[in-house]
Structure 1
């Protein structure tokens, strides 16, 4: 199972271009999803170049430091063989801006973020059922 995961509002609080506080349980669930076979693609608007400089590298490093292995960053490595579309292919997308995504607003956060207590178990169940 390939899962695209947004960064700001999904893994950390919205503090772009800085890194916000960790979204509760995000890293725990990302690791659990990997342990059940999910391949994670960081799918974010953060980029290597821009007005704010390289905002992508700190996000990638943050995940690496937390022990989250990325299958891809804003790109699915297997998709080049069957399409030239720039849209990143995945089986599932987790994003705080997605319609219907359960949200929570921890104290001190600038905006609501993904509620991993709800999302995590549901996605893990889906991942395990596809084994």
Structure 2
């Protein structure tokens, strides 16, 4: 919530460098492996996650910011621990147990942190 007359949040220059590096890496990946539906979907998910992280870091404030960070980290962990092994043909249960434990621990830490730290 920005007060009237106050300048909006300024984008940091390093964010532009991160987006440029991501574009270059995606283009190199497409040139090396070719374009298929899976790579396009994965690229779209990673780009959407990047925009969500940028939006949370730029426009949200504590305590909501920390809870949104936990949600985004949990989503990224789900991609790595559940979706990726299932796509490779591995079992689901170990990744699901790890994802549940890590996401639950992050949520408990976030609740504890927000209750004890001053704004």
**What range is the shorter-chain TM-score in?**
under 0.3
TM-score, structure 2 as length reference = 0.28
Comparing both chains, which one has the higher relative contact order based on Cα–Cα distances under 8 Å and sequence gaps of 6 or more? 1
Q: More strand per residue: 1 or 2?
A: 1
TM-score, structure 1 as length reference = 0.26
Structure number with greater Rg is: 2
Q: More helix per residue: 1 or 2?
A: 2
